Amino acid sequence: METFYEWMESPLGKLLLVADEEGLIELAFGQGRTAPVVDALWKKHGAPLREPARQLRAFFAGELHDFDVPLKPSGTAFQQGVWRALCEIPYGETISYGELARRIGNPSASRAVGLANGANPIAIVIPCHRVIGSNGKLTGYGGGLENKRWLLDFERSQRQLAFVANGS
């Protein structure tokens, strides 16, 4: 199966998108804790990247709140469960690592949940940025805390705009 990649400009800098015919495999910040590596066997641009790139552009334009692209993150069964739970956190909201652990049915696993959150290979689309410390403080983020803060502020402002626009 062929794997494709594409670099995309965003308000947060360059993003690397990686996908195959089955779904999005990776979405990484060009700058962050670890720089993403492009495999020499991957092909540049490809049909599997069109829709994820389109949805990301719509997200950054404030036109999309929920992504609808096939995802294919690679991880353990525990990590997969954490990542599925992350996708249930509503746009513009945050929860703590402890709350996320409770939501997956393992309330004493907040540390393991934090590690799984940090191993998320598909940033933004699997919204690990929506998880914060129990004291309300921002904690580590692979794309950098400034990007986590930007994403949270952006989502809150877009949510407020939608709230006002709907006359609520």
One domain for residues 81 and 40: no
Active-site positions? 128
What pTM did the predictor assign?
Answer: 0.92
CA distance 128 to 113: 11
One domain for residues 89 and 140: yes
Q: Last residue of a domain, which of 33, 60, 87?
A: 60
One domain for residues 103 and 144: yes
Long-range contacts of 144-148 (CB under 8 A, 24+ apart): 144/29, 144/31, 144/32, 144/33, 147/12, 147/13, 147/29, 147/32
One domain for residues 44 and 101: no
Report if residue 149 sits inside a domain.
yes
Q: What CATH number does residue 143 fall under?
A: 1.10.10.10
Report strand pairing: 23-29 vs 131-132. Answer: unpaired
Domain containing 132 equals: 77-165
Report if residue 68 sits inside a domain.
no
Domain count across the chain: 2
- One digit per residue, the tens of pLDDT, for the chain of length 168 reads 899 999 999 999 999 999 999 999 999 999 877 789 999 999 998 899 999 999 999 999 999 999 999 999 999 999 999 999 999 999 999 999 999 999 999 999 999 999 999 999 999 999 999 999 988 888 888 888 999 999 999 999 987 766 555 665
